[in-house]
């Protein structure tokens, strides 16, 4: 029997590539929803504001949805510009979806968390799953609070909600919007275009990153795993590789030798400085077999091939 899957935020950086993968499966009927789309029900596309609770409930009921991926969010940099909106979008949409699952309207929820849950006093290297976690951005606060709500709804009401703390995500299908790690995509686009990039983070700022195919593979793996093997109901750490603007520039120069990088540091430096450099993801490996294929050089090569 096939299941009906709804991706909310289907046109965003993760949603776009997640839908491409879900579409390949013949045991799934995929429905897309995004604030940027015009409804075209024949193509299973719906215009939806993730803060519009009535419309979400109506859509899930009407389409008899079994699984929801809630990918709509305001990221770290945009969130600092508009804290209340970040809280409202990131938190209320999650609480509403958790309630609908509790009411039995659908069966399974995926909700993304982020390395932004970690704060300046968390260990920087090989950051463990459970450690000091005091986020300093509104985005991080919303993600950490959301993690607790997921765990609460699982323990109290049996809601099958699964979550990953994504590191910075590098991808080419859709541009990222409003994150601190966005430079990792912009730098490659600029290298191909003008051969020159002005970076808002210092050259030696190390952050964990993941190429989108690995992130999508992880997302589908956690959703496909048997319920019993999900031992963490807040959110799983996920690593990838560590990189910095300098290391990315070096990797890019293998293909574009005259690429130049300059720096004009802004408020995003403080955000980046509060986050880990590398992540311990042994629980994801143990519980649902996370495995990443792409390191920095392979990611840069694949990005240049796709965009060049």
The residues assigned a catalytic role are 139
Smallest separation (angstroms) from ligand SER to the CB of 90? 11
**180 in contact with ligand SER (CB under 6 A):** yes
Span interacting with ligand SER, options 46-54, 113-121, 225-233, 246-254, rule CB under 6 A: 113-121
The interface with ligand SER within residues 213-252 (CB under 6 A) comprises none
What one-character-per-residue DSSP string does 95-115 give? HHHHHHHHTTS-SEEEEEEEG
Span interacting with ligand SER, options 54-62, 128-136, 177-185, 252-260, rule CB under 6 A: 177-185
Nearer to ligand SER, 65 or 245 (CB): 245
Distances (CA, A) of 142 to 62, 156, 181: 29, 21, 18
And the tokens for 64? 């008899």
**119 in contact with ligand SER (CB under 6 A):** no
What are the residues facing 307 on neighbouring strands? none
**122 in contact with ligand SER (CB under 6 A):** no
Q: Residue from 10, 16, 76, 136 that binds ligand SER (CB under 6 A)? A: 76
Distance CA 220, CA 28 (A): 12
Place of tokens 């919007």: 177
Span interacting with ligand SER, options 109-117, 194-202, 210-218, 227-235, rule CB under 6 A: 109-117
**210 in contact with ligand SER (CB under 6 A):** no
Nearer to ligand SER, 65 or 181 (CB): 181
**114 in contact with ligand SER (CB under 6 A):** yes
Dihedral sign computed on CA atoms, order 277, 241, 247, 80 = negative
Smallest separation (angstroms) from ligand SER to the CB of 5? 23
Strand pairing category for 207-211 and 241-243: antiparallel
Residue 1 CA, chain-centre distance (Å), reads 29
What number of chain residues touch ligand SER (CB under 6 A)?
A: 11
Q: Residue from 9, 15, 168, 239 that binds ligand SER (CB under 6 A)? A: 168
Contacts 24+ apart (CB under 8 A), 30-38: 30/5, 31/4, 31/5, 31/6, 31/7, 31/59, 31/63, 31/65, 32/6, 32/7, 33/6, 33/7, 33/8, 33/9, 33/59, 34/8, 34/9, 34/10, 34/72, 35/72, 36/11, 37/10, 37/11
What are the residues facing 59 on neighbouring strands? none
Smallest separation (angstroms) from ligand SER to the CB of 208? 10
Place of tokens 């909600």: 161
Span interacting with ligand SER, options 33-41, 57-65, 86-94, 178-186, rule CB under 6 A: 178-186
Q: Residue from 116, 215, 216, 279 that binds ligand SER (CB under 6 A)? A: 116
Q: Which residue ranges make up the site for ligand SER (CB under 6 A)?
A: 75-76, 114-116, 139, 166, 168, 179-181
């Amino acid at each position: 029997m096939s299941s009906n899957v709804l991706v909310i935020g289907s046109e965003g950086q993760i949603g776009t590539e997640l839908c491409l993968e879900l579409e390949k499966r013949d045991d799934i009927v995929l429905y897309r929803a995004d604030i940027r789309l015009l409804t075209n029900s024949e193509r299973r596309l719906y215009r939806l504001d993730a803060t519009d609770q009535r419309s979400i409930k109506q859509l899930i009921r009407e389409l008899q949805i079994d699984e929801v991926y809630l990918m709509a969010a305001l990221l770290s940099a945009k969130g600092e510009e508009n804290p209340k909106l970040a809280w409202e979008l990131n938190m209320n949409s999650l609480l509403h979806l958790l309630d609908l699952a509790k009411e039995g309207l659908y069966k399974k929820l995926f909700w993304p968390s982020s390395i932004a849950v970690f704060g300046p006093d968390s260990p920087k290297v090989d950051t463990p799953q459970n450690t000091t976690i005091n986020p300093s951005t509104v985005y991080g606060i919303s993600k950490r609070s959301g993690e607790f709500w997921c765990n609460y709804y699982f323990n109290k009401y049996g809601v099958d909600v699964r979550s990953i703390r994504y590191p910075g995500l590098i991808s080419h299908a859709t541009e990222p919007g409003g994150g601190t790690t966005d430079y990792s995509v912009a730098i490659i686009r600029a290298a191909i275009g003008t051969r020159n990039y002005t970076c808002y983070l210092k050259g030696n700022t190390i952050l964990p990153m993941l190429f989108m195919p690995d992130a999508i593979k992880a997302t589908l793996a956690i959703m496909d795993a048997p319920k019993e093997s999900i031992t963490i109901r807040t959110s799983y750490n996920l690593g990838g590789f560590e990189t910095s603007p300098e290391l990315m520039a070096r990797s890019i120069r293998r293909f574009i030798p005259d690429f130049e990088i300059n720096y004009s540091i802004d408020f995003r430096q403080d955000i980046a400085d509060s986050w880990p450099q590398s992540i311990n993801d042994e629980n994801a490996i143990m519980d649902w077999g996370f495995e990443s294929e792409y390191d920095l050089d392979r990611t840069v090569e694949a990005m240049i091939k796709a965009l060049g």
